[in-house]
Amino acid sequence: MSKFQEMFRELDKVPQGSHRRRNPLTGDWVLVSPGRTDRPWLGARETIAAEPSVPHDAACYLCPGNARAKSAVNPGYTGTYVFQNDFPALDAGAALTAAGSAEAAFQVVHGECRVLCYSPRHDLSLGQLDQDAVRAVVSMWVNEWKHFDARDEIAYALIFENRGAQMGASNPHPHGQLWATSIIPNEIEHERQSQAAYFDAVGTPMLADYLDAEVRLGTRIVAGNGSWVALVPFWAVWPFELLVVPRHACSGFDDLTQTQHHDLAALIGRIVSIYDSIFGVPFPYSMGWHTRPSDGGAHAGWVMHGHFYPPLLRSASVRKFLVGYEMLAMPQRDITPESAAALMRGRS
């Protein structure tokens, strides 16, 4: 019996009042407070953004043939389209400069930022594209990630998407981003250390053992196919957070078989459709793929996985805020991961 199966067995003995759960990937804890959604709400209500209704918007700087914010003009692309971000968060350059002591240190960080347009259609999200189009998006991810993984000056390449104005998306045209950096970011470093320590101690990948325990239990599973499983993680912070894990461990996009590639595309489309059905609106989220670092290390035990972090809590207009106690003490969630999974499972 794995440590995760033992942990879930112990959880069954715990009264479902307030309690905390540990994220084995990062070591962080989350406070679970079931029933807080019953409290009266006179706080902020979000404006529900309308989905784009036209296939091409002349004012959109991501649509084919349109001028962008600077002087560049998009080609008349008919599939996916990638370009260097006109306003990158990173300076280009190969050198990494470090200075200062362990208590007061800094590093100059270099890298590249790219915009990844999913489709020429302004009005179609990942959940609305046909399977061939979603497969093309996954192929774009594979090719872009492999390009940066092979570069000596790059330590990490993160592919992610912010969907919706509530998650800071500056343009409704369906697109994601890739930030390739000369350093390994915080969250990745935490996951690297945890997965490496588990593998050294047990001899099997942490997420492989975790997925096996979750599949056996079934309580937090939302959707899946022959290659991938989407579940609400035991330690979820966001109300309808999802973790996407491969059934057969792979460490990066270069490890995907053709079947895994096609199955990933199918599951991604299904996930977005499930989200959109919960409150009957386009569900905002941040989504990203945690692959192994690109620093040349072996990274034994690393399992590639995806995170979906959506903010909505009790309706289309009421979101979960990570403020106050969450910022000053520890994250807290208002519904159990098990109840969130049951609701989403009913929509699949």
Which stretch, 89-93, 102-106, 167-171, has highest mean pLDDT? 89-93
Least confident residue range of 187-201, 229-243, 318-332 = 318-332
Q: Which two tokens stand for residue 23?
A: 């994220």
For residue 122, tell me if it sits in a domain.
no
Nearest to 304 by CA among 125, 142, 179: 142
Distance CA 46, CA 273 (A): 21
For residue 132, tell me if it sits in a domain.
no
For residue 35, tell me if it sits in a domain.
yes
The CATH number that applies at residue 20 is: 3.30.428.10
pLDDT tens, residue by residue, 147-159? 999 999 999 999 9
Distance CA 96, CA 108 (A): 6
Q: Is the dihedral of CA 151, 153, 159, 161 positive or negative?
A: negative
For residue 334, tell me if it sits in a domain.
yes
pLDDT tens, residue by residue, 135-149? 999 999 999 999 999
Active site residue 175: yes
Domain total for the chain? Answer: 1
What are φ and ψ of residue 285, in 5° steps? -165, 160
Tell me which of 110, 122, 173, 175 is the catalytic residue. 175
For residue 23, tell me if it sits in a domain.
yes
For residue 166, tell me if it sits in a domain.
no
For residue 137, tell me if it sits in a domain.
no
What domain range is 220 assigned to?
3-39+185-345
For residue 80, tell me if it sits in a domain.
no
> For residue 133, what pLDDT is reported?
96
Does the predicted TM-score (pTM) go above 0.75? yes
